[in-house]
Amino acid sequence: MRVSLLFPPSWHPSQPYLSLPCLTAFLDQAGISQKSQRDLNIELLDTILTKSYGLEVYEKLIAKLKTLESSTSGDTGPNSTEHYGRLVEALDRFPNLIDEIEPAKFSLRSEDFFDVDRYRECLFLIDRWLEVVSALYFPTRITVVDNQLSYSIYSSRDIMKAIQDEEQNPYIDLYRQHFLNSILSEAPDLIGVSITATSQIIPGLTLCRLLKEGNPDIHVTIGGSIFTRLVDNVRRCERLFSVVDDFIVFEGETALLELVNQLEGKRDFSKVPNLIYREDGKVRVNQPFYSENLAQHPAPNYDGFPLDRYLAPYTVLPVQFSRGCYYKDCAFCALTLDHQNFRQKDPIKVVDELESLSKKYDTPYFFFTDECLALSPTRRLCKEMLNRSCNFQWTAELRFEKNLSRELLSLMRDAGCHKIVFGLETYNTRMMDFMKKGITQESVQRICSDCVDLGIGVHCYIIVGFPTETEEEALETMNFIVKNDKLNSSYGFSCQPCLFDLEKEAPIMNDPGGYGIRRIMRPASEDLSLGFFYEVQQGMSPQESEKLYQHVYEKVSEVVCELPFNYSMADGLLYIARHHNMIERSQEQQMPV
């Protein structure tokens, strides 16, 4: 039995994603030796950002332009006069970009990365290049982290059309020309595709279709958080099973291992935990859903990932101390669904793993992906790092807990924590209580001030438009960011305003009326919707919230450094680490001999 694990586009290019390395390490531990893992996201982007690929596209742009010169259909959409205009524009830009794209990519992998003007220039060049490439597939628009097609990713009918659309779907050509042969030549018996973001839905399912067409005998399974949130939808959506054999929802390590065992043995898929599959004309869901015992899990294995091809000069590795959230009461949050209960590894084991990963992959940089670190284990973790004189440099997410003391923050700083991500959501006291955040203004003020004093970067997520929120309450949150000069001028600060989205499985859905929601709606065609439209009894309407969100976003952007800190946590970590190292060297030079 040979297993191949694939991570499709689109995801951020600065660092690998954690899902496949966790699965690979678990299969290693179980003795599954015939396996491979590939980050097709970075491989595909690396392919696009080459002169040779550009010349391929150039010929296709010329051919497409000639076709449309003799025949266009309509004003907008594929093969329209607007499409013709985009092709002309793309061909006009092409000569100025073709010789710049590879140097831009290499600059981001070198010390040029730390020249913020060059950093911005490279990201701009890459965005313009992707815009030129996208013209071939108009109205599709590819960006570094996303893709926009004219199809709804929340409609299975649209998705099935999109993965067949040779004109609008760029991934069909890219997979066929650059990736399919190498994947299929390994002759895998089982292929697992990890879809963890909405931006991966069409690229991921396109890949599944082409793999099944290339070899119908390959068993193709999809895992990841997107379909975990769509369990009820998938059981009613049989058309998806024309391109994939089954779905593994929630946590996937034990499920994947058992799927391997069943494919080698009796093929009794009822024995595979967390599996959604079709049998005897019915879609079946294996419940109860299984939660992993993290104490038995090894460190992630990044072998096979092209760590030198990410768009950063040093490797930043995602790691995990815990799964789930120890605080599950936030009314808006559906993240707790992915991991049904809170579990964590022993801090000593985590430091063992970090030491091993640091040595194996030659990096001190780590990104804790935990939904939020619990305070007492974090204290033990940091003390263990300091006892061993580790030189790790890392970032993590915490809550604005009243018990998050300056002393603990200082300990974290000394152990190499450069930045902390906080879910602030709101600074208004009524909204804090209504959202069940379990935090206070006093704690938020103190912790932010302590972090700045200690040289720890701060990131704040804020939400605009939670049901019943008024404009004045939303502006209070905005002003906490915009008028807090000490915070917003601190090195490494970032802030991401988000427009409230009524998500499936969020606690608010258990009592929408109690949260001021009068009516919930979902378009009938969107059978894979992750959220809902709604009407409120009081406060801002969704339309008013969206308008205010644009205002908040603009005002926050005036005081927040978008690049690199608001663009990428991994990039920001490298910048902050460089900043701290420069300060330390300067202080050492000033010390008397």
Residue 98 CB: number of other CB atoms within 10 A?
Answer: 16
Question: With pLDDT > 70 as the criterion, what percentage of the chain qualifies?
Answer: 99
Is residue 104 very low, low, confident or very high in pLDDT (cuts 50, 70, 90)? very high
- Do 360 and 423 lie in one domain? The reply is yes
The answer as to whether 164 is a domain residue is yes
Please compute the mean of the pLDDT values over residues 324-352 and round it to a whole number: 87
Separation of alpha carbons 507 and 511, rounded Å: 8
Is residue 523 very low, low, confident or very high in pLDDT (cuts 50, 70, 90)? confident
Is residue 592 very low, low, confident or very high in pLDDT (cuts 50, 70, 90)? low
- Do 501 and 451 lie in one domain? The reply is yes
At 212 the three-state DSSP class reads helix
- Do 337 and 482 lie in one domain? The reply is yes
- Do 322 and 275 lie in one domain? The reply is no
What's the confidence (pLDDT) of residue 107?
Answer: 98
- Do 10 and 82 lie in one domain? The reply is yes
Q: What pTM does this model have?
A: 0.96
The answer as to whether 586 is a domain residue is no
Residue 393's DSSP bridge partners are 365
Nearest to 292 by CA among 316, 320, 264, 334: 320
The answer as to whether 324 is a domain residue is yes
* Strand-pair category, 365-368 with 393-398: parallel
* Strand-pair category, 246-248 with 365-368: unpaired
* Strand-pair category, 457-464 with 494-499: parallel
| Total count of domains within the chain | 2
- Do 74 and 161 lie in one domain? The reply is yes
What's the confidence (pLDDT) of residue 269?
Answer: 98
H helices then E strands: how many in the chain?
Answer: 22, 20
Separation of alpha carbons 449 and 456, rounded Å: 10
- Do 95 and 192 lie in one domain? The reply is yes
| pLDDT for residue 589 is more than 80 | no
Place of tokens 């939904």: 371
Q: What is the DSSP string of 336-371?
A: GGTSSS-EE--HHHHHHHHHHHHHHHT--EEEE--S
| pLDDT for residue 340 is more than 90 | no
- Do 270 and 332 lie in one domain? The reply is no
- Do 482 and 438 lie in one domain? The reply is yes
Measured CA distances, 98 to 71, 130, 517 (Å): 28, 11, 52
| pLDDT for residue 283 is more than 70 | yes
| pLDDT for residue 323 is more than 90 | yes
The answer as to whether 281 is a domain residue is yes
Place of tokens 């999109």: 162
| pLDDT for residue 339 is more than 70 | no
Residue-number span of the structural domain to which 554 is assigned: 314-570
What's the confidence (pLDDT) of residue 341?
Answer: 87
Please compute the mean of the pLDDT values over residues 460-468 and round it to a whole number: 97
Separation of alpha carbons 408 and 420, rounded Å: 13
The 8 Å CB, 24+ separation contacts for 440-448 are 440/400, 440/402, 442/402, 443/400, 443/401, 443/402, 443/404, 444/400, 444/480, 446/406, 447/400, 447/404, 447/409, 447/422, 448/484, 448/487
441, amino acid identity? Q
Measured CA distances, 540 to 465, 481, 510 (Å): 7, 21, 21
Q: At what angle do helices 170-178 and 40-48 cross, to 10 degrees?
A: 100
Please compute the mean of the pLDDT values over residues 368-382 and round it to a whole number: 97
pLDDT in tens, 113-124: 999 999 999 999
pLDDT in tens, 83-95: 999 999 999 999 9
| pLDDT for residue 407 is more than 80 | yes
What's the confidence (pLDDT) of residue 336?
Answer: 62
Nearest to 526 by CA among 101, 311, 127, 236: 236
- Do 271 and 364 lie in one domain? The reply is no
| pLDDT for residue 590 is more than 80 | no
pLDDT in tens, 196-249: 999 999 999 999 999 999 999 999 999 999 999 999 999 999 999 999 999 999
Burial class (CB in 10 A: 0-12, 13-18, 19+), 296: exposed
What's the confidence (pLDDT) of residue 508?
Answer: 93
The answer as to whether 176 is a domain residue is yes
Asked which of 265, 285, 305 is the last residue of a domain, the reply is: 285
The answer as to whether 591 is a domain residue is no
Measured CA distances, 314 to 16, 196, 366, 573 (Å): 12, 24, 11, 11
Separation of alpha carbons 513 and 467, rounded Å: 10
Name the token pair of 259.
């799927």
- Do 87 and 164 lie in one domain? The reply is yes
The answer as to whether 454 is a domain residue is yes
The residues, ordered by sequence, that sit 6+ positions from 377 with a Cβ below 8 Å of its Cβ are 321, 322, 344, 347
- Do 380 and 428 lie in one domain? The reply is yes
Please compute the mean of the pLDDT values over residues 245-260 and round it to a whole number: 98
What's the confidence (pLDDT) of residue 384?
Answer: 98
CATH number at residue 478: 3.80.30.20
| pLDDT for residue 586 is more than 90 | no
- Which H helix or E strand runs over 205? helix 201-214
The answer as to whether 27 is a domain residue is yes
Residue 496's DSSP bridge partners are 461
The residues, ordered by sequence, that sit 6+ positions from 95 with a Cβ below 8 Å of its Cβ are none
